[in-house]
Amino acid sequence: MSEVAAVWWRRPRLPSAEPDLDEDHRMFVRSEWEHFLGGVEAFGGKLWVNSPAANRSASFKAPQLLAAQSVGLRIPRTLITNDPEAVRQLAATGVPLVYKRIGAAPRPPMATKLLLPSDIERLSTLPACPAIFQEHIPARLDIRVTIIGTEVYAAEIESQKGTSPLDWRFDYTVPFRSHELDSSIRDRLLRLMHRMSLVYGAIDLRLKPDGEYVFLEINPNGQYLFIELLTGIPLTEKMADLLST
């Protein structure tokens, strides 16, 4: 590891245990691999994209929202809970709400949805599994920001012209193009990256009709190739430059 100059640490999977092992031994093997890989960054690599520790902590939505707020970014009014009454009280204020899962998106991803009266009626199941509820942010555009080192690349998505205006990930037929990000937002995003000890991040913002940017989330393992293919922004080249410097 002392000879390694750079490591791109992106969604590593633990090796599978031998199939003839019983469950106790499988758990033992998995635990040993987890601790081995979890500690490997201490032994080398001048550059980690991102370090395992930073990657893990940045994957949780609550800390990233608080970090974004602390650097001056606007975030949606947010409730993370398994308490049905707390959701009912927030909904009763009249603020339009959306809900989504707290964890990282599975494959295929689960869509962000509007909280409807029919959803309020089935909140009795919430104590068994928490969720995140946020004010619905109206959008003129969705903005995907890819940060590689200290370089910031933004793409605008005309999500409101497609079939999935609430969650652009379900319609890639709408126009994607390069976006000139407001310099103050760019600086705050770089401060957010520094605060979270990240070298790479894929950030989702919404640009409201009145021109205000709202931070939604940051994914330290987010994909970028689709942005390159749809906008022509040379992100693969920029990532290669970072890893080879």
Give 216-238 pLDDT, tens digit per residue.
999 999 999 999 999 999 999 99
Domain count, the chain: 3
Is residue 32 assigned to a domain? yes
Q: What is the pLDDT of residues 34-50, one digit of tens each?
A: 888 888 888 877 899 99
Average pLDDT over the chain reads 93
Structural domain of 89:
78-135
Residues 66 and 165 both lie in one domain: yes
Is residue 1 assigned to a domain? no
Is residue 214 assigned to a domain? yes
Cα 205 from chain centroid (whole Å): 11
Residues 16 and 35 both lie in one domain: yes
Is residue 152 assigned to a domain? yes
Average pLDDT of span 148-152: 97
Q: Which residues contact 216 (CB under 8 A, 6 or more apart)?
A: 76, 137, 204, 205, 206
Residues 17 and 127 both lie in one domain: no
Residues 213 and 152 both lie in one domain: yes
SS3 92: helix
Show the tokens assigned to 69: 């707020």
Q: What is the Cα–Cα distance from 1 to 225, expressed in whole angstroms?
A: 28
Q: What CATH number is attached to the domain comprising 67?
A: 3.30.470.20
Residues 28 and 144 both lie in one domain: no
For 12, 40, 102, 148, 181, the CA distances from 62, given in Å and listed in that order, are 23, 27, 9, 23, 25
Average pLDDT of span 114-119: 94
- Amino acid letter, 102: I
Residues 99 and 191 both lie in one domain: no
